[in-house]
Amino acid sequence: MKNEILSHLNDPGQLEKLYRSNKAPFKREFSAIYPELKGNTLADFWNERLSYESDEINWGTGRELFFVIIAALVAGLIAKIPGIFQVDEEFFYPRNIGFIFLPLLTAYFAWKNNLQFKNIVVICGVMLLSLIYINLLPGTNNSDTLILACIHLPLLLWFLLGAAFVGNNLPDFNKRLDYLRYNGDLIVMTTLILIAGGIMTGLTIGLFALIGFQIEKFYFEYVGVFGLAAAPIVGTYLTQTNPQLVSKVSPVIAKIFSPLVLIMLVIYLFAILFSGKDPYNDRDFLIIFNLLLIGVMAIIFFSVAESSKTAKGTTAIWVLLLLSVVTVLVNGIALSAILFRIAEWGITPNRLAVMGGNILILVNLLLVTAALFRSVTKKSDTVSVGRHIAMFLPVYAIWAMIVVFLFPLLFSFS
């Protein structure tokens, strides 16, 4: 993108095409090179244009709005399949919860980014295969391999969504980081939508109760279900058409919570020593320990994605470095615990899945920690830190595919 901007700097029409095709990367790359272009009339114009923030809400084009409305309705109908077709809810939701909205978001970005036909075929093929496979997979809700497949399948669908978001240039690390930033913005926007929806729900039910109508059951079964299914779709639409709505909120949240999580994690590790609990002999504690690890890792990744956008803030990078070091320690404890349990009681699908995930996270965290150390010692910039995260994302996707498709076969659907 940078080279394209420079080569078409005196071609207003081509610059406009570049901007409209990839707004976020264009803005990021232009902001990075603008200090070298000051004084150029067209460059100064684009700087003012990209820096201007409108107070008005942009509702996008009529086609986009129509697509989002239809997608929201379809998501609600998918969520209501058990009620419409008398399908067992305990069978349907664990296997298909990821299919309620993730394929629709994938279709939105595939359409918006003019995804190449061959890429569409691959993404649709994997999604269709996953849909058929997970619903034909034998086993009860007590089957370990089925539970693991149901847990990892939404993760696989999330990676396919990322492929559509990145568009036709999958090796572009910056676009992969943009995808992580989009997820952070989406979490913020969807949370706000759900809070507003919860307030509206309380008011609506309360007002109808005042006049003698008890609508709770009907409201939650229809309005509530459709609202929950549509929230991430509407949130995506708002973040893409109005990036200014939450673009400054996500970095602030990352800066606030990174040091707080670091302090909490250090105190928690010391508290473990006095609690009498240990992940080596307590299975439930090990599960919670790994969930803590995943949550902290996600905070690190989203924070790095935000900080790499500005490539500034030494204090923030130091906080991330210390958080990464402590998280590596947590990962080491979790990994040693699962290896201990495998040595003592043998391999099971759950232990193998946890071990594989811990190893991947550990390797990724070590690469990120090394890159953060080079950044604080001025041997490289924060862009290289983001590159190590973006580079590793396909590895997680491959592991998710292994757990979903191969584990049930390897362990005979146990």
* 59 part of a folded domain: no
Tell me the two tokens of residue 388: 């190590």
Same domain (yes/no): 318, 402: yes
Q: Which domain-ending residue is among 207, 242, 277?
A: 242
**Cα 260 to Cα 340: distance, rounded to the nearest angstrom:** 31
Same domain (yes/no): 306, 291: yes
* 147 part of a folded domain: yes
* 266 part of a folded domain: yes
Same domain (yes/no): 274, 357: yes
The sign of the CA dihedral 36, 38, 41, 42 is positive
Same domain (yes/no): 75, 191: yes
Same domain (yes/no): 223, 371: no
The number of distinct structural domains making up the chain is: 3
Same domain (yes/no): 306, 374: yes
Same domain (yes/no): 192, 263: no
- Could you tell me the mean pLDDT of each successive run of 10 residues in the chain, 414 residues long? 77 80 70 78 80 66 90 96 91 95 96 92 97 89 89 96 90 85 90 94 94 92 93 93 77 82 89 82 83 85 71 75 91 92 92 94 92 83 79 94 94 85
CA distances from 82 to 77, 87, 90, 151, 157 (A): 10, 4, 9, 20, 21
Same domain (yes/no): 154, 232: yes
Supply the pLDDT for residue 52.
66
Same domain (yes/no): 312, 337: yes
* 212 part of a folded domain: yes
Q: What angle do CA 10, 15, 20 make, to 5 degrees?
A: 170
Closest Cα partner for 355 from 394, 399, 319?
399
**Cα 292 to Cα 337: distance, rounded to the nearest angstrom:** 15
Closest Cα partner for 92 from 226, 84, 125?
84
Same domain (yes/no): 191, 308: no
* 57 part of a folded domain: no
Compute and round to an integer the Cα radius of gyration of the chain: 23
* 133 part of a folded domain: yes
* 338 part of a folded domain: yes
Same domain (yes/no): 72, 24: no
Task: Please check whether residue 281 is in contact with residue 341, taking contact to mean a CB–CB distance below 8 angstroms.
Answer: no
Q: Which domain-ending residue is among 242, 259, 294?
A: 242
Q: Which domain-ending residue is among 205, 220, 242?
A: 242
Range of the domain at 17: 2-51
Supply the pLDDT for residue 9.
79
**Cα 19 to Cα 27: distance, rounded to the nearest angstrom:** 8
Task: Please check whether residue 178 is in contact with residue 250, taking contact to mean a CB–CB distance below 8 angstroms.
Answer: no
Closest Cα partner for 262 from 184, 331, 326, 328?
326
Q: What is the pTM of this model?
A: 0.86
Side chain identity, residue 364: N
Same domain (yes/no): 367, 406: yes
